[in-house]
Amino acid sequence: MSEYMKNLINGKWSGTDRVTENRNPSNPSDIIGLYTRSDSEMVLKAVEAAKKAQPSWASASPQFRADVLDKAGSLILSRADALARLLSREEGKILAEAKGEVIRAGNSFKFFAGEAVRLGGQKLPSTRKGCDVETTREPLGVVGLITPWNFPIAIPAWKAAPALAAGNAVVLKPAELTPGCAHEMARILHEAGCPDGVFNLVMGAGAELGATLVEHPDVSAISFTGSEAVGRRIAETCAKQLKKVQLEMGGKNPMVVLDDADLEVAVQVCLNGAFFSTGQRCTASSRLIVEAGIHDAFVERLEAARAALRIGDPLDTKTQLGPVASERQLAGNLEAVRRAADEGCVVRGGERLDREGFFQAPALFLGSHNSMSTARDEIFGPCASVIRVADFDEAVAVANDTPYGLSSGICTQSLKHASAFKRLAQAGMVMVNLPTAGVDYHVPFGGRKGSSLGGREQGSIAMDFYTTVKTAYTFAG
Ligand SMILES: NC(=O)C1=CN([C@@H]2O[C@H](COP(=O)(O)OP(=O)(O)OC[C@H]3O[C@@H](n4cnc5c(N)ncnc54)[C@H](OP(=O)(O)O)[C@@H]3O)[C@@H](O)[C@H]2O)C=CC1
Ligand SMILES: O=C(O)CCC(=O)C(=O)O
C-alpha cells in the first residue's frame, strides 16, 4: 500500500479524498506514492494561511529566517542520496544528475540564507539641504510559485528560498507529474522550523489550482517555470491585476561549432547539451550549428557517440540516459521525429525503445535548416537539429534567429570568435566550450525574448523580484 502524501497548509498536513498516482516513467507499474489532488478550496486556504503568517515572518529577525533556510539546506544535503533516488524514480533523471540537482537545491537554500542577512539598501545625500535619503527592500507579501516537472526539487528550491529570505510567505504548486520532491522539500522546511503558514504546498492539477493561485487578489506575485503557452496566459492575468510576474519558459538553444573547435570537446559538449537529462532542459542544445569545414567529421563522431549512449534504468549507475518523463511528452517527441523526416531531414535515432517505460533513442536531425518547424519550435526531448553554416557570421545570424533567447554556446579555440560570440549572442546565458545546459546556483539565470520575463532567478539578483524598494526621506533639521 503506497503512502498517501498530503498538502502542507498552515503547518498541517491536509488532503482531499482524491489522489494522483505518482508513477515511475521507467516502469509505470511502480507507484511511488499517492499524492492528494487538491481542489481550488485548498488554494484559498493556503493563501489565507500565508497572508496571516507573513507579517510576523517579515518582522522576525533576518537571522531567524537565515537559520531556517540554512537548516533546510543542511537537511536536503544530508538526505541527498534518498532524495536523488526519489527524483530518479519520479522524473527519470539518472542518479548522478538527480544527486547533482538535489545538491543544487540544498546549496540554493544555503545561499539565500546568506541573502536574508545581506538584504541591503542605500543611504544617499539628498539634493535638499538637511535631508537624508535611504532605500530599503521590503517583501511583497504572499507569492505563488508554479513549477514544472523537469527539475522537481531545484526549481521549487531556487524560487522558495529567495522568496522566504526576503520575508514573503509562499504557496507552491508543483507539477502534478512530479509532486514527490516538492513534498519532501515541504517536509524539510517544516522540520527546519519554518513557522506555520509561511510555506504552503498545494498539489494537484495546474489548470485549476494554478489559475486560482494566479487570480487570487491576495497573491502579490507569481513566479512560474514551464511552457510558453501557460506562461503567456499567466502573464495576461497578472497584467490585468497589475501583479508582479516572473516567467521562465522555453528555449531553442543554439550551440555553434566552428572549424577551429577541438573536435572531441565539441562532441562531448553537444552530446551533453542535446541529450543529457533526456533533453528535458529548457537550456538544452536543440540546434547544433556547425561550420562547413568541420561538419562531416563532427557529425560522424557525434553520431557514433549518440548511438553508443547507454539508455535504461536511471537507478543503474551505468545508465547515461533515462526515460522521457511521461507518455504525453514521449508522444510529442515521436511526432517531432516524424515531422523532421517529413521536412526532409535525415533522422538518426529517435525511435521508441521496445521495452517497458517511456524510453526513446536520442535523435539527430541531419541536414536541417533553421526555417524548419523542428528547428524553431521547442521539442523538450532528446532531439537536436544539425544545421550547416558557411562561416562565423552566418553561425551567429542563425543562432540568433529564434523567438527564444535563454542559453547559447560556442565551441572554438579562437579567443576572437569566443569574445565576439559572447558579445553578439542574443541570450541570457552564453557558454564557451561548455554545454548550454547545466548552470551554477549562485549567478543569474534567465533569458531574453520569448524565454523569460520579469527579472532573473538565482544569485543575489533573484532578491529583486521578491522585494519592493522603498525610498525614505528624512529632514533632520
Ligand atoms: N523548464 C521549462 O522551461 C519547462 C518547459 N516545459 C515546456 O512545456 C511543455 C509542456 O509541459 P507541461 O508540464 O505541460 O508544462 P506546463 O506549462 O503545462 O506546466 C508547468 C506548471 O504550470 C502548471 N499549470 C498548467 N496549467 C496551468 C494554468 N492554466 N495556470 C497556472 N498553472 C498551470 C502545471 O501544473 P500541472 O503539472 O498540474 O499541469 C505545472 O505546475 C513541454 O513540452 C516543454 O516544452 C515544461 C516543463 C519545464
Ligand atoms: O540547465 C540547467 O541547469 C537548468 C535548466 C532549467 O532550469 C530548466 O530546464 O528548467
Looking at domain 4-249+451-475, its CATH superfamily turns out to be Aldehyde Dehydrogenase; Chain A, domain 1 (3.40.605.10)
Ligand showing the shortest atom-to-Cα distance for residue 35: 1
Beta bridge partners, 224, equal 146, 247
Query: In this structure, which ligand is nearest to the CA of 158?
Result: 2
Name the nearest CA neighbour of 468 among 132, 63, 141, 115.
141
Cβ 380 under 6 angstroms from ligand 1: yes
Query: According to CATH, where is 3.40.309.10 located in the chain?
Result: 253-432
Catalytic amino acids?
248
> Does the Cβ of 227 fall within 6 Å of ligand 1?
yes
Say if ligand 1 is within 6 A of residue 158 CB: no
Give DSSP secondary structure letters for 117-152.
Answer: HH---EEEE-SSTTEEEEEEEEE-SEEEEE--SSST
pLDDT, one tens digit per residue, over 333-390 is 999 999 999 999 999 999 999 999 999 999 999 999 999 999 999 999 999 999 999 9
Q: For residue 388, report the distance from its CA to the centre of ligand 2, in Å.
A: 26
> Cell 523567438, residue?
403
> What ranges make up the beta strands (E) of 307-422?
346-349, 363-368, 383-389, 404-405, 407-411
Ligand sitting nearest the alpha carbon of 175 = 1
Cα 101 to averaged position of ligand 2 atoms, centre (Å): 10
Give tens-digit pLDDT for 100-146: 999 999 999 999 999 999 999 999 989 999 999 999 999 999 999 99
pTM, two decimal places: 0.98
| Secondary structure class of 177 (helix, strand, coil) | coil
Fold of 253-432: Aldehyde Dehydrogenase; Chain A, domain 2 (3.40.309)
> What ipTM did this prediction achieve?
0.97
Can you tell me the distance from the alpha carbon of 334 to that of 300, in angstroms, rounded to the nearest whole number? 23
CATH 3.40.605.10 residue ranges for the chain: 4-249+451-475
Is 40 a pocket residue for ligand 1 (Cβ < 6 Å)? no
Give the Å distance between the CA of 123 and the centre of ligand 1: 42
Q: Which residues contact 89 (CB under 8 A, 6 or more apart)?
A: 24, 26, 30, 32, 180, 314, 315
Query: In ligand 2, which atom is closest to the CA atom of 280?
Result: 9
2 confidence band (pLDDT: 50, 70, 90): low
Determine the distance from the C-alpha atom of residue 49 to the mean position of all C-alpha atoms in its chain, rounded to a whole number.
27
How many angstroms separate the CA atoms of 417 and 122, rounded? 39
Amino acid identity, position 199? F
Ligand 2 pocket residues where CB is under 6 Å: 150-151, 225, 281-283, 437-439
Listed in sequence order, the residues at least 6 apart from 364 whose beta carbon sits closer than 8 Å to its beta carbon are 299, 302, 303, 306, 347, 348, 349, 384, 386
Hey, what amino acid is at 215? E
Mean pLDDT of the 225-229 span: 96
